[in-house]
Amino acid sequence: MTGITGHRITVEQGAEHVRVVRDGQVLADSRRPLVLRETGCPPRYYLPPEDVRTEALTASDTRTHCPFKGDASYWSVPGADDLVWAYPEPKTDVASIKDHFCFYDTEVVPD
């Protein structure tokens, strides 16, 4: 998909095994991430809610707006404010990321 001239976002089903560990606690573990690639940004893994320990997350008041993806909501864990975000109502071109969680620190686990 393209937006502003030179800006591109793609979302693809990934095959990577990704995990998020914070202070020794596994917050997410998925073998079915969506991989979002956006011009000027590192690839981001959007994880289905079933693969995220949502009970370990605390909703934040933080909201941000991306002209390409929409409005994001954030969650925190002890010692890491706004560590996780999701797009509850993403723009049509990235609709597949709806309600998937994205973390700042996601590791790809070698199989």
pLDDT of 2 above 50 = no
| 59 in any annotated domain | yes
Q: Is residue 26 part of a domain?
A: yes
Is 50 exceeded by the pLDDT of residue 35? yes
Q: What share of the chain in percent tops pLDDT 70?
A: 95
| Number of compact structural domains in the chain | 1
The reply to whether 1 falls in a domain is: no
- CATH (domain of 98): 2.170.150.40
- Terminal CA-to-CA distance of the chain, rounded, Å? 31
Q: What is the pTM of this model?
A: 0.91
According to the model, what pLDDT value does residue 75 have?
97
SS (H, E, C) 8-26: EEEEEECCCCEEEEECCEE
Chain segment 49-70, per-residue pLDDT in tens: 999 999 999 999 999 999 999 9
Task: Report residue 49 as tokens.
Answer: 């809610």
Instruction: Answer whether residue 21 is part of any domain.
Output: yes
| Segments forming the whole domain that contains residue 98 | 9-108
Q: Quick one: pLDDT at residue 71?
A: 97
